[in-house]
Amino acid sequence: MDGTFLRPDDTYDRPRFARFRERLRERGGRFVVASGNQYEQLRSFFDDPDEFGYVSDNGALVADGSEIVHVESLAPEAADRVIAFFEARPEVPFFASGPGCAYVPVGVPERLAGVLARYYHVLRRVRSLYEVRDRLFKFGVEDPRGLPEGLIAAARAEIGDVLTPVSSGHGSLDLIIPGCHKAGGLLRLMRRWGIAPSESAAFGDGGNDIEMLRLCRYSVAMANAPDEVRVAAQHRTAANTEDGVLVQLDTWFT
């Protein structure tokens, strides 16, 4: 969504998208929203949310409309290791998420928690993430100031065996369960619907899109994507600021 489908002000050309959706329906196609963001947040962008598939939290939660079809889970002892990693770095504004809710420590400044609320509509402040007894499937950093130098390397060295750090751009870092990514979630929906990767297309702008771009036959990188993403994709389209996804879809569904 961010940096790919949505413009910087979180809008998109709704009439143009509605016309594409009608053409897609006529051809028996399906549309999936795949994002590092929360399921509840992703649904809020659409007037008919139950018509879409969702791969949220980078594949940790997969839904077919309003039906949750898969949820990943991090072992409690693994979650405690990740919490300890971040609590040793109090300057890093981190959070954790699970099905239905995201959690942010009270030590994270209100300004940064407000930024996080943009992506996680169900958000709860807690004194410590050790207090959370719900299932957790993702940790992350959301800081418009940018990621601290060396944070990704440190995460790989100290907790890389339980969570994989993936940059999603714009000062964001997602730490996801190994093997849990957008491509895995998308495959679950493909099998459910009887659609093959050779019949599918994907768009992306960040490092957490690479597996998905490699999975689908028609892979498209945004003009605003970094080099590693452009290399993983077969095609290019305009930047999200220029409605690049809809521009490309119009060339395929005329």
CATH at residue 89: 3.30.1240.10
**Is residue 225 domain-resident?**
yes
Quote the CA–CA distance of 179 and 182 in Å, as a whole number: 10
Domains in the chain: how many in total?
2
> Residue 218 in 3-state DSSP?
strand
157 and 81 belong to one structural domain: yes
| Helices within 88-170 (DSSP H only) | 110-117, 151-159
Provide the domain limits for residue 157. Answer: 76-176
171 pLDDT tier (thresholds 50, 70, 90):
low
In the prediction, which pLDDT does 163 show? 94
150 and 227 belong to one structural domain: no
In the prediction, which pLDDT does 115 show? 84
Q: Is pLDDT of 170 > 70?
A: no
**Is residue 55 domain-resident?**
yes
**Is residue 146 domain-resident?**
yes
Residues 100-159 pLDDT 10s: 899 999 988 888 888 888 889 999 999 999 999 889 999 999 877 788 889 999 999 999
**Is residue 4 domain-resident?**
no
In the prediction, which pLDDT does 169 show? 62
Summary mean pLDDT of the chain: 93
How much is the pTM? 0.88
85 and 163 belong to one structural domain: yes
Do residues 148 and 172 lie in contact, with contact meaning Cβ atoms separated by under 8 Å? no
Strand residue runs (E) in the chain: 32-34, 53-56, 61-64, 67-71, 94-98, 101-105, 123-126, 138-142, 164-169, 172-176, 201-204, 218-222, 235-237
Quote the CA–CA distance of 205 and 2 in Å, as a whole number: 9
Which residues, at least 6 apart from 198, have a Cβ–Cβ distance to it below 8 Å?
217
**Is residue 5 domain-resident?**
no
**Is residue 161 domain-resident?**
yes
- The two beta strands, 138-142 and 94-98, are antiparallel
| CB-neighbour burial class of residue 171 (10 A; exposed 0-12, middle 13-18, buried 19+) | middle
* End residue of a domain, out of 176, 203, 219: 176
The CATH number that applies at residue 39 is 3.40.50.1000
* End residue of a domain, out of 131, 147, 176: 176
94 and 134 belong to one structural domain: yes
222 and 134 belong to one structural domain: no
11: its two tokens: 């809008």
